[in-house]
C-alpha cells in the first residue's frame, strides 16, 4: 500500500479524483476507456483547457494514468481498449475516496449523516421499508441535498415499497444510474427524473414508447443510456431538445413510429451537432431517414437493425445512404429478414447491396447480412477501414473470390463468426496490412488460404470452434517463420491459448 500511496502522492492534483473514480466500478471490472471518459465528463472531473478540447484533455489524463502504472491497459487488436485496477489499487482508491469525501460504496440501510458527492448503493439484499431515508421526499431534512451522483445496483425493488422511492428533491444530481436489475422506471418516476435539470448522464430502464414532454427539461443531458427491452422507443420529436447530447444508447429505438402513417415535420435548421454515438436504431425503408442522418453531422458511431425493405426506385433491397455522415468511424448493422416474404429473402442473398458508406469508416460489423462477392468488393474499397466483422453472414454460393481489385488497404483485423463460407480465394495483395485474423464457428471452411503466410504484418490467427482449420493455420505459421526468420506469428485458440502441432 505504501508504494501505491507514493505513486498517488506524485500524481498532479487534477489527476487524483480521476484516478480514485475508477474504484466506483466493481473489482475485476474491465472498463471500456470511452465509457470511463463519458463518466469523467458527466461528473465534472475534466474540463476544457486552453487550446485543448475536453476530449483531448481526457486522452492526456488517461495516458498519464496508464504511464504511471496505476492503471492496467488492455488494448488487444480488434477489441475496444479497456482499463482496470489491480485489486490492491482498487482497495486503496476506495479508502482514499472515502477520506476525501469524493464517493462511497454503501448499503441501503447504512446511510451516513453527511454523504459524499457520489454514492454507489450495491446490495445483495432487497431494499426494505426502513431503508429509504434518502428517497423519502416527505423528510424535512435530507442528507442527500448536496448529492451529485447516485448509482444503485441493488436487487429488484420490492413492489410494496416502489411508491416510496422518490428522487425529485435531489436537485443537484448530475449522474443518475439506476440499474435495470433494481427498478423499471414508471411514468411517475420518469416525470420526477425530468425535474433534475442538472443531469448530465442518465441510465434507466423503462417501457415507455415516447419520451414525455417534460424530457425537454434535461437540456444539460450528455449521455442517455436506456434499457427498454420489449418495446421500441420513438425518438422524435423530443430528442431534438437535448442539444448537448453526445451519447444515445437505447436497446431499441426509431426516429418515427414504425406503425404510424403520419410524418413529423422538422424545422430546416434542426440538428444535434454534439451527438457522437447513436444506437440501437430500428430502420425500415424511409426517405426521411437519410434526411435525419444529415442532421447528425458529427456522428462517429452508429448502430442499427435493418428490416428487409424493397426500394422500387433502385430495384434493390434498401440500405440507407450514409454518405452524409462524414465523421462516422464505427458502424454496426444487423439485418432482419421479412417473415412474410421467403422468396424475397432468397433474392436478397443473390443481389449485391447498394451500399453507400462514408469513406471515413474505420470499423464495420455486419450481423446476419446476406452478401455476394460484389458486395464484399464494395466494402474492400473503403480506404480507411481497419476492422471488419462478419457475424452469421450468408455469402452467396458459400464462395468468396477476391480478385486483384479487392484490396483491403488498411484492414488490421478481420473477424468471421459463423459465416457460411466453404471456398475462400485470397489474392497476394488482398490484406497487405492485416494484423489479426479471427475465425469462429466457420464449420464449412476446410482450410485457411495459404497466401495469409505472405502477409508480413500478420501477428495473430485465432481459431474458436473451428478445429478443422488448425492444420492449415499451423502450416501458415511454419511458412511465415521460414520466410521471416522469427516467431512473430501466433496461432491461438479460446482464451488465447497457443495451438501446437
Q: Do residues 187 and 212 touch, judged by C-beta distance below 8 A?
A: yes
Over residues 277-298, the mean pLDDT reads 90
Confidence of residue 111 (pLDDT cuts 50, 70, 90): low
| Mean pLDDT of all residues in 60-71 | 92
Q: Please give the average per-residue pLDDT across 406-425, as a whole number.
A: 95
Model confidence at 257, pLDDT cuts 50, 70, 90, reads confident
Class of domain 1-91: mainly alpha
Which is higher by pLDDT, 138 or 248?
A: 248
Confidence band, pLDDT 50/70/90 cuts, at residue 445:
very high
Q: Which is higher by pLDDT, 139 or 405? A: 405
Do residues 329 and 306 touch, judged by C-beta distance below 8 A?
Answer: no
Confidence of residue 160 (pLDDT cuts 50, 70, 90): low
- Predicted pLDDT at 349: 58
C-alpha triplet 82, 83, 84: angle, nearest 5°: 135
Is the model more confident about 65 or about 102? 65
Residues 208 and 233: beta-carbon distance below 8 Å:
yes
Q: Which tens digit of pLDDT belongs to each residue from 119-132?
A: 887 764 545 544 55
- pLDDT of 342 over the 50 cut: no
**Average pLDDT of the segment spanning 174-203:** 92
CA 371 from centre of chain: 25
Query: Is the per-residue pLDDT at 51 higher than 60?
Result: yes
Of 64-73, 278-287, 415-424, 459-468, where does mean pLDDT reach its minimum? 278-287
Average pLDDT of 12-23?
Answer: 93
Q: What is the pLDDT of residue 428?
A: 82
Instruction: Please state which CATH number belongs to domain 362-500.
Output: 3.80.10
- In total, the chain counts a number of residues equal to 501
- What pLDDT score does 133 carry? 52
Of 100-104, 123-127, 385-389, 446-450, where does mean pLDDT reach its minimum?
A: 123-127
Domain with CATH 1.10.10.10 in the chain: 1-91
> Is residue 67's pLDDT more than 80?
yes
Q: What is the pTM of this model?
A: 0.90
Residue 264 has a pLDDT of 65
| Residue whose grid cell is 429505438 | 253
- Nearest Cα residue to 65 out of 38, 47, 85: 85
pLDDT at 49 over 80: no
For residues 22-29, average pLDDT: 90
Q: Higher pLDDT residue, 233 or 164?
A: 233
Residue ranges matching CATH 3.80.10 in the chain? 106-260+270-275, 362-500
Task: Give the strand pairing for 316-317 and 310-311.
Answer: antiparallel
Cα(321)–Cα(113) distance, integer angstroms = 56
Lowest mean pLDDT among 122-136, 301-315, 407-421: 122-136
User: Which residue has cell 451527438?
Assistant: 275
Task: For residue 202, count other CB atoms closer than 10 A to its CB.
Answer: 24
- Torsion angle defined by CA atoms of residues 40, 84, 112 and 151, in that order, rounded to the nearest 10 degrees: 60
pLDDT tier for residue 263 given thresholds of 50, 70 and 90: low
Q: Tell whether the model's pLDDT for residue 1 goes beyond 90.
A: no
Q: How far apart are the C-alpha atoms of 20 and 8, rounded to whole Å? A: 9
Predicted pLDDT at 353: 84
Strand ranges (E), 358-397: 363-367, 370-371, 387-391, 394-395
Residue 404: pLDDT above 90? Answer: no
What does the alpha-carbon distance between residue 7 and residue 192 come to, in Å, rounded to a whole number? 43
Q: Given this model, what pLDDT does residue 289 score?
A: 87
Higher-pLDDT residue of 440 and 101 is 440
Cβ-based burial of 174 (10 A; exposed 0-12, middle 13-18, buried ≥19): buried
Question: Does residue 485 have a pLDDT over 50?
Answer: yes
Class of domain 106-260+270-275: alpha beta
Lowest mean pLDDT among 11-15, 67-71, 161-165: 161-165
Rounded Cα–Cα distance for residues 244 and 308 (Å):
33
Amino acid at each position: 500500500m505504501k508504494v501505491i500511496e507514493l505513486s498517488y502522492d506524485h500524481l498532479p492534483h487534477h489527476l487524483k479524483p480521476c484516478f480514485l473514480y475508477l474504484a466506483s466500478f466493481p473489482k475485476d471490472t474491465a472498463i471500456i476507456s470511452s465509457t470511463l471518459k463519458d463518466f469523467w465528463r458527466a461528473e465534472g472531473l475534466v474540463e476544457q483547457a486552453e487550446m485543448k478540447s475536453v476530449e483531448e484533455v481526457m486522452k492526456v489524463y488517461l495516458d498519464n494514468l496508464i504511464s504511471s502504472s496505476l492503471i492496467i491497459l488492455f488494448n488487444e487488436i480488434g477489441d475496444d481498449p479497456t482499463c482496470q485496477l489491480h485489486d490492491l489499487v482498487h482497495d486503496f482508491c476506495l479508502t482514499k475516496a472515502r477520506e476525501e469525501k469524493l464517493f462511497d460504496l454503501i448499503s441501503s440501510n447504512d446511510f451516513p449523516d453527511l454523504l459524499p458527492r457520489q454514492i454507489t448503493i450495491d446490495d445483495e439484499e432487497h431494499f426494505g421499508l426502513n431503508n429509504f431515508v434518502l428517497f423519502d421526499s416527505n423528510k424535512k431534512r435530507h442528507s442527500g441535498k448536496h448529492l451529485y451522483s447516485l448509482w444503485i445496483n441493488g436487487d429488484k425493488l420490492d413492489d410494496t415499497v416502489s411508491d416510496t422511492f422518490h428522487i425529485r428533491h435531489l436537485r443537484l444530481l448530475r449522474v443518475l444510474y439506476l440499474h435495470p436489475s433494481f427498478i423499471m422506471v414508471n411514468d411517475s418516476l420518469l416525470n420526477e427524473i425530468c425535474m433534475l435539470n442538472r443531469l448530465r448522464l442518465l441510465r434507466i430502464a423503462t417501457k415507455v414508447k415516447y419520451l414525455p414532454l417534460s424530457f425537454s427539461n434535461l437540456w444539460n443531458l450528455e449521455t442517455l443510456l436506456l434499457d427498454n427491452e420489449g418495446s421500441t422507443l420513438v425518438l422524435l420529436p423530443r430528442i431534438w431538445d437535448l442539444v448537448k447530447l453526445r451519447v444515445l444508447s437505447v436497446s431499441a429505438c426509431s426516429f418515427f413510429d414504425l406503425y404510424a402513417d403520419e410524418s413529423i415535420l422538422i424545422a430546416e435548421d434542426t440538428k444535434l451537432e454534439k451527438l457522437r454515438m447513436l444506437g440501437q436504431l430500428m430502420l425500415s425503408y424511409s426517405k426521411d431517414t437519410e434526411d435525419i442522418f444529415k442532421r447528425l453531422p458529427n456522428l462517429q458511431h452508429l448502430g442499427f437493425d435493418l428490416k428487409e425493405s424493397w426500394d422500387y426506385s433502385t430495384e434493390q433491397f434498401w440500405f440507407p445512404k450514409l454518405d452524409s455522415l462524414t465523421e462516422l468511424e464505427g458502424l454496426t448493422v444487423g439485418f432482419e429478414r421479412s417473415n412474410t416474404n421467403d422468396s424475397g429473402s432468397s433474392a436478397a442473398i443473390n443481389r449485391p447491396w447498394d451500399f453507400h458508406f462514408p469513406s471515413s469508416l474505420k470499423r464495420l460489423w455486419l450481423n446476419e447480412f446476406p452478401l455476394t462477392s460484389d458486395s464484399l468488393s464494395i466494402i474492400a474499397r473503403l480506404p480507411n477501414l481497419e476492422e471488419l466483422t462478419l457475424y452469421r453472414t450468408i455469402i452467396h454460393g458459400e464462395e468468396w473470390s477476391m480478385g486483384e481489385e479487392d484490396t483491403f488497404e488498411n484492414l488490421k483485423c478481420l473477424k468471421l463468426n459463423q459465416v457460411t463460407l466453404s471456398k475462400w480465394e485470397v489474392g497476394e495483395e488482398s490484406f497487405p496490412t492485416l494484423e489479426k485474423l479471427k475465425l469462429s464457428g466457420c464449420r464449412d471452411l476446410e482450410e485457411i488460404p495459404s497466401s495469409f503466410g505472405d502477409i508480413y504484418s500478420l501477428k495473430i490467427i485465432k481459431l474458436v470452434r473451428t478445429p478443422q482449420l488448425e492444420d492449415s493455420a499451423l502450416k501458415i505459421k511454419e511458412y511465415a517463420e521460414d520466410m521471416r526468420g522469427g516467431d512473430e506469428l501466433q496461432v491461438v485458440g479460446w482464451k488465447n491459448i497457443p495451438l501446437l502441432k
